[in-house]
Amino acid sequence: MLETIRELLRTHDMCVLATTAGDQPHCSLMAYVCDHAARHVYMVTFRDSVKFRNLSQNPAVSLLVDTRETHGKTRRGETRALTASGVYEPLSKPVERAEVTSRLLAAHPHLEVFLQSDAAEIIAVRLTSFLLMDGLTDATFHELP
């Protein structure tokens, strides 16, 4: 089942990112890429955004990736929804930032102006667990070491 989860992450490129500060949750629709092992997810935001301020206060995040786009309205009972929990970790090496920026641009060319901004910051999330809902009732939880 873990490979099914990884494949879902690798074959999709949009998620909902949930962050919190204090007792205030905040959700954002985000374009993303993940590494091949599906252990890290990368997104971009502005440093002055609510989500980035939240990450600075509380690095714990949740991501939601689903298959509604591929299944459409007629097959909603077959939709898979993956909740991935993780921790925001700043990219510390310029080489790492350049590689992730290149991958984001390849997958999401519309982000070029955004990624070239001095105010942009890469969000790197180290994933710690997965909860896959397959349809309405079939749930699989997997914690990463």
Report CA-CA distances (Å) from 76 to 67, 69, 80, 81, 136. 9, 10, 9, 11, 9
pLDDT digits (tens, 9 = 90+) for 66-99: 987 765 554 556 778 999 999 999 998 888 999 9
Pairwise pLDDT comparison (144 vs 1), residue with the higher score: 144
pLDDT digits (tens, 9 = 90+) for 48-60: 999 999 999 999 9
d(CA 24, CA 89): 21
Q: Provide the sign of the torsion angle of the four alpha carbons 119, 59, 25, 57, taken in this order.
A: negative
Q: Identify the structural domains of the chain with CATH numbers, from first to last.
A: 2-136 (2.30.110.10)
pLDDT digits (tens, 9 = 90+) for 16-44: 999 999 999 999 999 999 999 999 999 99
Which tokens is 87 given? 């921790």
pLDDT digits (tens, 9 = 90+) for 124-139: 999 999 999 987 888 9
d(CA 36, CA 131): 19
Mean pLDDT of all residues belonging to the chain: 91
Partner residues linked to 45 by β-bridges: 121
What single letter denotes the amino acid at residue 82?
L
